[in-house]
Structure formats: structure tokens, C-alpha cells
Structure 1
Amino acid sequence: MASLFSVNVANMLLPLLTVPYVVRIIGPERLGLLNFSQAYVAYFTLLINYGFDTAAVRAIAADRHNKSLVNQIFSEVMSGKALLWVLSTVIFGGITYFVEEFRAHWWLHVCTYISCLGIVLFPIWLYQAMEDLGRVAIFNTIVKVLFTFTVFIFIREPNDYIYQNLSLSIAQVLISVAAFVVALRRFDLTYTFPSIAQLLKRFKDDSTLFFTSVVATIYAGSNTFLLGIFSTAYSVGIFSAGTRIAGITQSFVSLALSQAFFPIVARAFGQGKEAGLKVVRTIFFPVVVLMTLITIGLYIIAPLFIHLFYGDQFEEAVVVLRIVSILPITLGLNNLLGVHTMINLRMDKAFFRISALASIISLSLNALLIKQLGHIGVSYSWVITEIFVILAFYVHLRSQGIQVVKLAYLREAVAFSKERIQSFRQR
């Protein structure tokens, strides 16, 4: 956690260095087009990932010293992703060519879609299962450094905006190739093309997690896309500016909290239900405190951040940032209750049902609010849906007799935090 946090600070700051330079050249509308394209391509990223990442981490983390198991899962996941990339490319090409709204900016979407090659090649799930995420953080930092340099070099006038997504895609693919080669050598992996039966079993076993990811993306990741479809590029630009730093915070939660802790929790659950729950209960209060401090900080610095990095033309983004400043707390709680607890307890179907219901709520709220309130409406929709998910996860766990939140566990959390801080100082 500590090493990931220290490296992730660079991952937070480097993209921000380009913001004041880029947005003053391209303006809110072109910024909206860039983010809309990323939201569009995110659906294909979702298809390529399927449910492999979470399922593979869960399986390997429970028995990561089993060489045969690791090689089998590695071969199945890489083959499955490659096949899904081919399918995604066909679908992407068809939609982008035949739908006029997408064809109008087809070159921008192609530049963004190149990043999907990186999704296939980067075995982040393997590094996660092997608890080697410090290396992943370094790879991500290199991507941000390459991206930062290329942005300053290539974006000189408004019509150069397209190079932002192209630069990020190329950097991501290059580093993904390097990460793939390093993983082969570091973990002594052997690829064997799986049989059709093995692939079909892998797709079937991970299908629930895939459909869960789909519905989760609808309520958590479709806001920008829906805003671009039913509103204007300007509104997308304002919403993107207002959620940028919240998105960076979410990346920190995902990398340093979710990905770092998930294999630890999965291994604990592999030893037994109570062992796993003890770890979740122990880290619950430290995570909540940390996320609360981040939320307060985001709310306070909202006007300063928007004016400093985006300028006066993005004044409306201040309200958006203050609305979504609560998302670090909701994301942290969703990870602890949903991903760490329910997924490791094999409550995949309940997880899916809650996510599906959240998607319906999100779509309904967006349908009501986008036309009337635009980017402000999408912000409220996002926050309300996330709060519903937290409550639903908590109620379901309680109905199964599982108590994660309890003041009695605070003493263990304090002792755990002191132990980790002392360990870090000794290093």
C-alpha cells in the first residue's frame, strides 16, 4: 500500500501537468469529444476484459504457488482476451462506420481504440494475484511520463486535440508489451493454447462476473457517454473537468486499495470465511477515514482546482466537482462490501442483481435529469446510484448474518494500522 501510494502520487500529478496547457488550447467542446470517445471505447474494453481479471485473481491468489494452475489460467485468459479483441474490433468497426454520430469523428475513435491492444497484453490481473503491484505502478508511471511529453510536443492548436488520445493509446500499448514480457520471465510462465472445451468453461465460469461488470459500467461508467448522446459536447467537457480529479482519486482507490488488498483478502478467505472477514473488518475503518479526508479535501479545493487548471471558461465545473466529491467514500465502501466481501464469499449472483438494479436506477435518473440539468443532473444521478449500491450491499450481507461494520472492530483496526506504520518506518 505504501509503495503503491508513493508511486501513484506521480500518476496523479503527471496528467494534471498537461491540463492547463491543453484545455486552454482546445476548449470545453473538444475536451468533451475526447472524453466521449474514451467513454465509447470503454465498452469494448469491458468486453475484452470479460470477467477474467477478477476471477483469475481470485483463483490464483488462493493457490498462487501451484505452477500448473497459474499457467493454465494465464493461457486461458490471454486466449480469451485475444478472441474477444477480434470480436470487439469487428463490432467497433461496424458501429463507427454505419452510425453517423460516430462516423463524424471516426479517426478520433480509432486513435482511442488502439489502447484496447494494451488491454489484451497487460496482465495486470497476474501482477495483482502475485501481489507485485509495485511493478504495475511503475509501468503506469512510465505511461504517464510518455503521455505527458507527447502532449506538449504535438498539441499546438485546437485541431491537434486528437493527438491526446492517440498519445495515450500508443504509450499504453508500448508499456503493455513490456509488462507482458516481464511477466513471462518474472513468473516463469508457459503458454499453452487451451482447447475449445477449456475456453468454453472459462467463459461460462466467468460469465456472471462479466455481466456484473456490464451492469456496473452502466451505472458507474456510462455517465459521460449518455451525456454525449443526449446533450452537447460542451456539457461533456464541463462534466469531464469537474470529475477529473475525482477520477484520479478513484484510480488511486482502484490501484492502491482495491487491487493491492484484493489478493490479500482473497488469500485470507482461502484459509476460511472468518479469516477473510477479519481482514475486511480490520481495514474497514482506516479506509473510511482516509476516503472521508479525501472527500473533504476535494470539496474545499474545488474552486481553486478548477480555476487553476481549467480557467474561467470551466466555472460551471466547480458545482460538478463538489457534487461528486463524495465518490471516494462510496467507491471505498463499494469495494470493501462488494468486491472484497461478496465476491470472495462467492455471492456473485447477488452482486449481479444489485448491480443490475443500480443500472436501472441510473438509467432512469439520467433520462429524467440530463435533459433538464445536463452535467449537473448526471452528477446527482451518479452519486445517488452509488449510495444505493452501498446500502444494498450492506443489507444483503446483514441478511446473510455477516457483519462487517461494528465499533468493536475499531480496536483491531487501530492495532493493525499501528503495526503497518511501524513496519513501513523500519523499511
Structure 2
Amino acid sequence: MSLAKTENRTFLANASFLALMQAANSFLPLLTVPFLVRVLGVELFGQLAFVTAVMYYFFVLTDYGFNLTATRDISINRSDINKVNEIYTCVFFIKSVLIGMSFLLLMVGFFVFPTVIENWPLYLCSFLVIVWQSLFPTWFFQGMEKMKYITYLSVLAKILFTVGIFVFVQGPEDYLLVPILTALGLFFSASYAVYLIHYQHGVSFVFVSWALVRKNIIDGWYVFLSQMKITLFSSTNIVILGIMTGPVAVGYYVAAEKIMRALALAQTPITGALFPLIANKMKKDKKLAMQKLKKIAYLGSAFYLCALGVGYFLSDYVIALLYGDDLQESAWVLKVMLIIPLLIFLNNIFGTQILLNTGREKLFFYVLLIAAILSLVLCFSLTYLYSYQGTTIALLITEVFVVLAFFVLVYKDWVHA
């Protein structure tokens, strides 16, 4: 069998497993979110969404961009077990330190912000989710292009969480069970994933020098900052909306955003499986890698345009079906947001797949830095003027800017492929 056919089979297999995992991540919440809105009420659901948005800052900090940099490093060095051991040890060590730092920051928040201490049980339970989510080693299996077992574990955890929500959450007084059940599912799946790494792949913790740890920190710095900037125009929008208008408006916004994110994440199996493949191919034949990316970009864009066009006309019906009459305000938000999944897909092609895989992390970072500043200015001003509708418009404008900026930077690579 030719090398190209082997690569394609591996790519399709990993994309399929990522698709299954992403389906669980994207569509199971579409079962639980409407249930939680009805059982907890719009206001308490909005409070949960607000705390989740705050917690996402800690997730980005503890992840430190390793979902991309460690995946790339494992992919490039997977035939060298000594290198893999070093990468694995460094990533877990750095993540553990960052989890400790995050917990200290949360403790500071209890003393500085009165609203945080008022809801301290919710914040602590939600932090447990971040701990086990950050230790879940998806990056290792993606880099090794062995997604089978990690997919089964992730899907099982999501199914158990979904069943637990319907069984145990019976009223507003059970709201803490939402993060607790999530954390339990992640704990069991992350623990077994680490077991597989050690006993199936023969990987072990080894002594690593401070110089190697420092190198991993430096290598991940711009990717981490870039992902933090992405957080500024995703989770920060929810935080600003919650502070300026309250949990009810957050409920309207997040109810529509959950649907939009599910559509946006449909591309993750392809782009996630593609990243290590393109990382290898860029080193061997850049032109061939670019040609493969162009085909995927055109096919993906055509798919999204058709799907999102249908979604626009069904928005009112979908919101009514999922959430009932109390959240009809979310239909307008969903209609405006529907183009964003296509923009996110193109952002990944131009930014993650091309810029990062050609060593242009600084350009990637600066685009997202400018986008983050733009997002903050737009979000504060438009949310103040138009509440959740303004927040929605701010997100759309920011995503359009990122697509255009990334495309300008890769234009020469794109047209000459």
C-alpha cells in the first residue's frame, strides 16, 4: 500500500473518531441545556453559564496551547519513545503547576469579588471540571493519531453525564450537581486515558531538565496567548454581558450560542485530525499540503453555506422546540450567529493549519491580539447600547476581522499552491 493511501486511511480513521467525540461534545448538550433551562429557570441557567465562562479562563491557562503544540511535537517525534517520554512529562508537569496557580487565583477571587464568594460552592465545583478537563490527554492521542480509545472514553463520560442530569437534577436546588456530574465523568475518563498511555503505549514519566521545561513554555507562549485572545471574544462576551445586564440576558445569549457552537464544532474532527497530518506534510512538501488544504476549504465552505442557509429559516422553530416560549428572544441571536461556524472553519484553515504549521506563531498571535482588543471595545460599547443583541453583533464583527486578517497573511501561499 502506498504512503499516500496509508496517510489517507489514518486521517479518515482519526477524523471519524474525532467526529464521534465531537458529536457527543456538541449534540448531547442540546439535550441537557433545554432541560436545564426548564428545570432551573432562565436566571439560574444564566448564572451557571456565567460561571462556566469565568472558568474557561482557567482552562485556557492550564491548557497553555498544548492542544496544538504538544499534538504537533508528539506527531513529529512519535517514533522516538525517549522524545515522547520527555514531551509527555513536560506537558503534565507544566499543566500541574498551572492548575495550582489557577486555584490560588480562584482563592484570591473569593476575597476580591463579593459575587464570587456569594456563589463559592458553584465556583469550586466548576473548578473541579477544569482540573480534570485539563488533565485529559487528548493531545497525546491526536499526536500519535490513535483516537479510538480516547474517543470511547470521552463519549462514555458525556453519556453518563447526560443520563445523570436527567435522573438527579429535579429542581433549582440541584444546580450544583451539573458541574459535579461533569467533573466525575472527566475524572474517570482522564484516569483511564493516562492508564492507556502508560501501559498500552509504554510511555512513562522521566526526569527532565529545567532547560527542556523552559523550552516547552517558550514554544507554547504565543499559541497560549493566541488562545487567550480567542477567549476574549468568546467567553469574555458572556462575562461582560452578565456583569452589565444580568443572568437573564446571558441565558438568551448562551441558549443560541450553544446551537451555534454545536454547528461550529462539526468541523473539529476534520481540522483536528488534519493538524498533525499537515504538520508532517508541510516539512516534506509544502505545495502538496497547501493543495490538500484548498480542497478541504472549498468543500467545507460549500457544506456550511448549505447547512447554515437551511438553519436560518428554521431558527424560530428550533428555538421554540428546544427551549419553549420563554426564550424566543434567542431566535434573533441564532440567526445572526449562524454565519460564525463558517468563519471559524476558515479561521482554522488560514490560521491554525497554515500559519502555525509554517512557523508563523507570532503573526497568528498578533492577529488575535488585535481581534481581542477590537472585541473588548465592541462588546463593552454594543452591550451597553443593545444588551445581548449588541454582544452578538460584536462577536460577528470580530470573527469577520480574523478571517480577513488571516487570509491576507496567507494570500501568497494560497494563490501559488
TM-score (norm 2): 0.92
Q: How far apart in 1 are the matches of 2:142 and 2:217?
A: 21
The letter of the residue matching 1:18 is: T
- Residues 226-275 of structure 1, C-alpha deviations (whole Å, 9 max, x = no match): 21122210000110111111122233323x12211111111211213223
Partner residue in 2 for 1:109: 123
**Which of 268, 272, 279 matches 1:259?**
272
Partner residue in 2 for 1:207: 221
Q: Is the 8 A contact 2:351 2:406 kept in 1?
A: yes
Q: How far apart in 2 are the matches of 1:133 and 1:259?
A: 11
The letter of the residue matching 2:137 is: P
Q: How far apart in 1 are the matches of 2:168 and 2:123?
A: 18
The letter of the residue matching 1:278 is: Q
Q: How far apart in 2 are the matches of 1:133 and 1:289?
A: 27
Moved over 6 A (4+): none
Residue 76, structure 1, aligned to residue 76, structure 2? no
The letter of the residue matching 1:375 is: Y
Partner residue in 1 for 2:80: 66
- How far the C-alpha of 1:55 sits from its partner, in A, is 1.1
**Which of 376, 401, 412 matches 1:363?**
376
**Which of 379, 382, 388 matches 2:401?**
388
**Which of 56, 66, 81 matches 1:42?**
56
- How far the C-alpha of 1:8 sits from its partner, in A, is 4.1
Q: Is the 8 A contact 2:54 2:235 kept in 1?
A: no
Identity %: 28
Q: How far apart in 2 are the matches of 1:265 and 1:36?
A: 36
- How far the C-alpha of 1:53 sits from its partner, in A, is 2.2
- How far the C-alpha of 1:11 sits from its partner, in A, is 4.4
Partner residue in 1 for 2:8: none
**Which of 9, 31, 36 matches 1:17?**
31
Residue 283, structure 1, aligned to residue 296, structure 2? yes
- How far the C-alpha of 1:2 sits from its partner, in A, is 3.7
- How far the C-alpha of 1:205 sits from its partner, in A, is 2.1
Partner residue in 2 for 1:318: 331
Structure 2 unpaired stretches of 5+: 1-14
Partner residue in 2 for 1:345: 358
Secondary structure of 1:114's aligned partner: helix
Q: How far apart in 1 are the matches of 2:27 and 2:90?
A: 36
- How far the C-alpha of 1:17 sits from its partner, in A, is 2.5
Q: Paired residues, what number?
A: 403
Q: Is the 8 A contact 1:208 1:348 kept in 2?
A: yes
Structure 1 unpaired stretches of 5+: 410-427
- Residues 68-117 of structure 1, C-alpha deviations (whole Å, 9 max, x = no match): 22111111111110111111111111113431021121111111110122
Quick check: 68-77 or 354-363, which moved more?
Answer: 68-77
The RMSD of aligned alpha carbons is: 1.8
Quick check: 232-241 or 91-100, which moved more?
Answer: 91-100
Q: Is the 8 A contact 1:79 1:193 kept in 2?
A: no
Residue 52, structure 1, aligned to residue 96, structure 2? no
Q: Is the 8 A contact 1:253 1:331 kept in 2?
A: no
Residue 224, structure 1, aligned to residue 238, structure 2? yes
Residue 193, structure 1, aligned to residue 207, structure 2? yes
Partner residue in 2 for 1:158: 172
Secondary structure of 2:176's aligned partner: helix
Partner residue in 2 for 1:376: 389
Compared CA separation, residues 297 and 4, structure 1 to 2 (3 A): farther
Q: How far apart in 1 are the matches of 2:400 and 2:199?
A: 43
- How far the C-alpha of 1:290 sits from its partner, in A, is 2.0
The letter of the residue matching 2:380 is: A
Q: How far apart in 2 are the matches of 1:358 and 1:260?
A: 26
Q: Is the 8 A contact 1:294 1:328 kept in 2?
A: no
Q: How far apart in 1 are the matches of 2:315 and 2:256?
A: 8
Compared CA separation, residues 253 and 377, structure 1 to 2 (3 A): same
Q: How far apart in 1 are the matches of 2:138 and 2:152?
A: 12
Secondary structure of 2:313's aligned partner: helix
The letter of the residue matching 2:302 is: V
Alignment of 1:297-316 (within 5 A): 297-316=310-329
- Residues 138-163 of structure 1, C-alpha deviations (whole Å, 9 max, x = no match): 22211211111211222111222222
Partner residue in 2 for 1:421: none
- How far the C-alpha of 1:194 sits from its partner, in A, is 2.0
Alignment of 1:119-130 (within 5 A): 119-130=133-144
Q: How far apart in 2 are the matches of 1:243 and 1:196?
A: 42
Q: How far apart in 2 are the matches of 1:326 and 1:117?
A: 33
- How far the C-alpha of 1:3 sits from its partner, in A, is 4.5
Q: Is the 8 A contact 1:330 1:387 kept in 2?
A: yes
- How far the C-alpha of 1:6 sits from its partner, in A, is 4.8
TM-score (norm 1): 0.90
Partner residue in 1 for 2:155: 141
Q: How far apart in 2 are the matches of 1:24 and 1:207?
A: 42
The letter of the residue matching 1:44 is: F
Q: Is the 8 A contact 2:257 2:334 kept in 1?
A: yes
The letter of the residue matching 2:215 is: K
- How far the C-alpha of 1:49 sits from its partner, in A, is 0.8
Partner residue in 2 for 1:100: 114
Q: How far apart in 2 are the matches of 1:171 and 1:220?
A: 25
